[in-house]
Chains A and B, each alone.
Chain A
Amino acid sequence: MIQQLIINSFIIGCTYALIALGFVIIYRTIKFFHFAHGVVYAAGAYLAYTFFILLNINPLISFFLSVVLTSVLGIAVDRFVYLPLRKHKSPSLVFLLASFGVLIFLQNLIQLIFGAQILTLRTGPIKEGYHFLGALITDNQILIIVSSLVLFFLCWLFVQKTKFGKAIRAVSDDPLGARVVGINSERVIMIAFAIGSALAGAAGILISLETNIEPTMGLNAILKGIIASIVGGIGSIPGALFGGLFLGLAENLGIWKIQAGWKDAIAFVILILFLLLRPSGIMGVKTDKEKI
């Protein structure tokens, strides 16, 4: 029983971590909570549904097309909504509210087009899982775990080792300094949105192999993603992974002891505890910055 719990925690944790991953890469360049990331995630799933189920396009091509289009969607949100706000030098709260507006708008647009009913990417009967360490795990679940870990490793490599990754870190740590050394921060932001949104789309598709597709999946996902990011240490890629796994474990342990309906409440209690007691998260570094 406990082994299944841990496996389930790991799977859920990986899904949260995947959402957090794209979110964190974007967050590092724009420094506010890009809530609309959730609906980009949902768009990935719905696009895959459209290509694969409705239009019967080859699954790999469907995946590729969906990810490209969600990447474009993410960039579009930045260009049309956040860029004007950057020009106005708005405070981060304004960005957050605008982001919320985008999420609500697009989420309901999805509902308008596809309806509120539950959809699925799965075709055919559900395959039985394999036995692993005393618990059951299915093909899709293995795919989710493996893809998450691979994507995390790739992103970490990208940010640490490549030129673009260094540029992202520069813009993240010191936007003015980055500009002084000739880094075009707008281009860096666009790259971050491209990659982060593609990751969101990929996450949406992968997770939809395992769970259902419905219009509010975006909001739920990004909330967990943000909580995972904060718990892990906002801005930290390994933090997103640990935060996601931590959240998955805490939720599953929680509902093992109390009713399943309290799952969301547990997640938010954890969020509030971290915000008040350890805002830098698990991996974050405490800084005693002077702000006066």
Chain B
Amino acid sequence: MEYLIHILIIAGIYVIFTLSLNLIVGFTGLAALGHIVFACVGAYTSSLLALNLGISPWIGLITGAILASILGAIVAYPSLRLKGDYLALATFGLGVIVYSVAKNWVSLTRGPMGLPGIPSFSIFGYQISNVWSYLILVLTFVLITYQAIRNITNSPFGRILKGIREDEIASQAIGKNVNKYKLIVFIVGAFFAGIAGSLYAHYSSFIDPSSFTIMESITILLMVVFGGMGSLKGSFVGAFLLVILPELLRFLGMPSSVAAPLRQMIYGLLLVILMIWRPQGLMGKYKFK
């Protein structure tokens, strides 16, 4: 039973990731392929502040999210100049660079050894240490994220994002400052991804660079595309299904030397099938054009 709750917590964290990436990729149409870097910044910031300076995880969470959004602003810059597959390549590259920093800047991050013993959250002195209370914490953040992104997209601002996705040039021709909107969207998306990263760090109490590889970015992108670009409910579905999947494989009793590549094979196959037959995913209305 506890294991099931653990799965729900992980799924919830991925839902926050997927919603935040959906804003950038699904609603605004920006081919951002390195989204995990924001989680990486959030996680490491929050953990290092707690471990080295004894700062409360709540403050660490916010600080991490803010630093992540600053990185988001930086990542936005290439999106102003590059299109489609070139932007994908550049953001992919940024993912590799941030991963390299996490792995090689050993004096700060302890490199591959990782950061153990990350403390958990506490409310009014009560430490959140059992899975049930963690689940409530994560679900609260899921709801906050969902409501925020729903508000953002269900508005004139959100409509402008969709316009940018559909046709940047036409958007400019009707007076929209496209660059400003791209910048905001990256900042907001990075912010929530940073929160998800912190939640993950304090929950699992140990992080290392291997949690933030480029494959993670691909997985989250797959969740967005599979669930449906531009569909918030789809993000829930996509995240849940793709978190449950590897667990099912483990359930079937396969050794990890088989389960691990098999899981990736399914992801790869799913990506190909989606692109050919259903680029709008399960619940999306938007197809790449």
Contacts and interface: CB of A to CB of B under 8 A. Distances in A.
Direct contact of A and B (CB under 8 A): yes
B271 A101 contact: yes
Interface in A81-135: 81, 84-85, 88, 90-98, 100-109, 111-112, 115-116
A105 B288 contact: no
A275 interface: yes
A90 B267 CA distance: 21
B276 A109 contact: no
Given A84-B276, A93-B31, A265-B100, A105 B90 contact: no
A191 interface: no
Contact of A275 (B86, B262, B265, B279): B86
Contacts of B101: 265
How would you classify the secondary structure of chain A's contact residues: helix, strand, loop or mixed?
helix
Interface residues of A, number: 46
Contacts of B78: 272, 275-276
Interface of A: 32-33, 81, 84-85, 88, 90-98, 100-109, 111-112, 115-116, 215, 223, 226, 230, 259, 261-262, 264-265, 268-269, 271-272, 275-276, 279, 292
Given A93-B31, A116-B257, A271-B89, A101 B94 contact: no
Contact of B225 (A97, A215, A259): A97
B119 to A, nearest CB: 29
A109 B88 CA distance: 25
A98 B272 contact: yes
A262 B93 CA distance: 13
Contacts of A261: 100, 103-104
Nearest to A230: B89
A269 B95 CA distance: 11
B258 interface: yes
16 contacts: A85-B275, A94-B275, A100-B271, A101-B269, A101-B271, A101-B272, A104-B218, A105-B264, A108-B265, A108-B268, A112-B258, A261-B100, A265-B96, A269-B97, A272-B94, A276-B78
Given A100-B218, A264-B100, A276-B78, A90 B275 contact: yes
B84 interface: yes
Contacts of A91: 84, 288-289
